[in-house]
Amino acid sequence: MKKSLYSLRRLCSLLWLLLSATAVLVQAQQTQSAVFGTVQVHPNGGKLAIYQSLTFVNGYVITPRSSPADNISFRPGSGYTGASDASHVNGYAEVVGTGAFTFPIGNGTTLRPAGISAPTSGTFQAAYFGTNPGVASLPTGGPFSTAALGTGVSAVSNTEYWDINGPSAVNLTLSWNAASSLSSLVGTNLSDLIMVGWNGSQWVSLGGVATGTLGGSGTITTTTPVVPDTYTAYTFGKVGSTITPPTGSTACGIVIHGPTNVEVHPGGTMAVYCDVTFIDGYVNTPRPTPNDNIVFMPGTTYFDASDDSHVNGYVEKVGNTAFVFPVGDGTALRPVGMSAPGSVTSTYQAAYFSTNPTSATLPTGAPFSTSSLGAGVSGVSPVEYWDVNGSSPVDLTFTWDANSNLSTLTGGNLNDLIMVGWDGSKWVNLGTPTTTGTLSSTGTLSVPGITPNTYTAYTFGSKTVVAQPPVVAIFTPANGSQASVSPPIVGSATAGASVTVNGGGNSIGGPCIVTAASDGSWTCTSLTFTTGLGHTITAIASNSAGTSNTATSSFVVPATCPNPSVGGMVSFAGMLPLCSTANTGTLTLSGQTGNVLRWETSTNGGSTWSTVANTTTTLSFSNVQNNGQYRAVVNAGGSCADAVSAPITLTTSAGACGGGSGLVTCDYPAAVITK
């Protein structure tokens, strides 16, 4: 037994493998291992890796179905033999490599293998589920409603399904036996059997070629490679009804002309191989079953659809040309258009619903709450919606009329109108659209590159306007020279923003605070600037969203002085020196240009000057000190600079004080006295 287990370890990477001593017997050689009982791979990282060959004898390899990665993995070059109803993988099997492979999977009672053709690379997994997909809980994404049918699918098996995973395209093969009850699904016609895949919202036809007998066993294989990860589940389906085109005529046409409407009954299809002209009356199709519709086959079109004549229900289009679906609600025509798809076999469907999405009952997945909003969506139309189906990307164009009430939805701003799609839980913004028309009447909205099957419903929405910090600019005064000392400062900013303007240290009257008008304009008039200097003004705007960058403008207010100031000269009409103890006198300014601003005096030889408040051309003084100086300061006005007069120096002497000392001084010329 120890030797057998040692050999098995060399052949298999066995993680979290529970071997029940009473229920399992494993025999292994250096080149082969065998299963004689039940082997369980445990969850949370368990894996049984096969590197050579595994023989199924009896019992099962059981893996946790809720975690596909915890499985039995057939590594490159490995294989198996002996898989049967009595011994197979009950859960997920995995294969790594580039060879074709048939997964030995079942449900612990029946072997129901699935196969893949040789891939170019990648890891593939598969598991079989012997239960109705409509009530499935696994894999993630279940259940898979058997009533949600895509184009070309009229029914789906309610007996079983497979989960197949893989990243690259391969042809898939499914197997059936008598318990699959395929005769109940497709009757006696083997050619009606197809393989279908669940795309997240409905079962899509994958076609296929079937071999075997419906009441016994057989296989079906796709003829067009499929990327397994594209679909969540796979099972058997029945092909949709087709109508043979008319023969024996080179031209034909269909006219919809009342008073009786054309009715497509449940289970029926009206295939159009000729052009259709709508005059009056409607083509009514059953809205609960989108595949029961009017189909415009390749090369066909229609004319004159109107409110009085259109398709009240689902329209289908086959081919690779652009198309506008003539859909409405039996009262109003509300077409939706698409650009040309890439394939001649492309199939698309559309229907219009004039109902509040919140109270909708169709299509499958309804209702679609108008309060469940994704990022960038502030509101959704409560008036109408469309169902558009298709598996490859196209540009979609939707229409509105006055009844759409889009002015209320967007607040009257066409730029806020967007298209939204229901992703299963919320309305998603489909990006920046292209619009024509006016909100209050009619128009169109186009969005590029949409795969219709991505969303269950489409309608109009309004985008969320994200508040942005304001912007600000200064227009005048511009950089350069400015003649006025109080120029109006003009600029723009985000409407309603508060703008603060500062003139710098050589200005007065600031800061100036104004509010930008509805057109963004603003003007500041309270600042005055010093002449002859350079100035830099700044403006900053602010609102509830934030503060702008700083706008600046620099300029100079030139000095203007047509008649420069001249200080003139100061004179004294009296005798000098003056008495040193007591003196008075009057000084007179002459020869000046400009008005006297003040007089100044100095007692230290002109090193410093003190102001004497006097604005006349004469100045009276008293008790001046010896060598005291006086001057006048004048200004000619405007931007002229001040000028000072030539100073006068007053001297004093004790000898100039007269008889105040008790002495008499006589001043006579020399003479000779003779007798």
Instruction: Give the chain's domains with CATH numbers.
Output: 253-463 (no CATH), 472-557 (2.60.40.10), 569-633+645-651 (2.60.40)
Of 524, 602, 603, 336, which is closest to residue 444 (Cα–Cα)?
A: 336
The four Cα atoms 47, 48, 52, 56 give a dihedral, to 10 degrees, of -140
DSSP letters spanning 61-114 = EE--TT-TTSSEEE-TT-EEE--BTTBSEES-EEEESSS-EEE-BBSSS-B--E
- The reported pLDDT for the residue numbered 468 is 82
pTM of the predicted protein model: 0.42
In the chain, which residues have pLDDT < 50? 1-30, 241-251, 660-668
Rounded distance between C-alpha atoms, residue 463 and residue 33, angstroms: 63
- The reported pLDDT for the residue numbered 673 is 56
Token pair 């499985």: residue? 71
Beta-bridge mates of residue 79: 53
- CA distance to 404, 582, 601, 606, 623, per residue, from 578 (Å): 105, 8, 17, 20, 9
- The reported pLDDT for the residue numbered 336 is 97
- The reported pLDDT for the residue numbered 564 is 86
- The reported pLDDT for the residue numbered 329 is 96
- The reported pLDDT for the residue numbered 557 is 81
Q: What is the dihedral sign for C-alpha 595, 599, 605, 606?
A: negative
What one-letter code names the amino acid at 471? Answer: V
Rounded distance between C-alpha atoms, residue 493 and residue 547, angstroms: 11
Of 49, 52, 31, which is closest to residue 39 (Cα–Cα)?
A: 49
- The reported pLDDT for the residue numbered 153 is 85
- Residue 433, helix vs strand vs coil: coil
DSSP letters spanning 135-160 = G---STT----TT-B-TTEEEE-SS-
Q: Tell how far CA 219 is from the center of its chain.
A: 47
pLDDT (tens digit per residue) in 567-601: 999 999 989 999 999 999 999 999 999 999 999 99
Of 197, 210, 100, 113, which is closest to residue 149 (Cα–Cα)?
A: 197
pLDDT (tens digit per residue) in 620-653: 999 999 999 999 999 988 778 899 999 999 999 9
- The reported pLDDT for the residue numbered 671 is 55
- The reported pLDDT for the residue numbered 510 is 84
Token pair recorded at residue 184: 């109940």
Q: Where are the beta strands (DSSP E) in 214-314?
A: 218-221, 234-239, 253-257, 262-263, 270-272, 275-280, 283-284, 294-296, 302-303, 311-312
H or E segment and range at residue 629: strand 628-635
- The reported pLDDT for the residue numbered 154 is 82
Reported for 636-640, long-range contacts at CB under 8 A and 24+ positions apart, including other chains, are 636/561, 636/563, 636/564, 636/565, 636/566, 636/593, 636/594, 636/595, 637/594, 637/595, 638/560, 638/561, 638/562, 639/531, 639/532, 639/559, 639/560, 639/561, 640/559, 640/561, 640/563, 640/564, 640/565, 640/594
Rounded distance between C-alpha atoms, residue 221 and residue 497, angstroms: 68
- CA distance to 529, 560, 607, 642, per residue, from 597 (Å): 22, 19, 20, 9
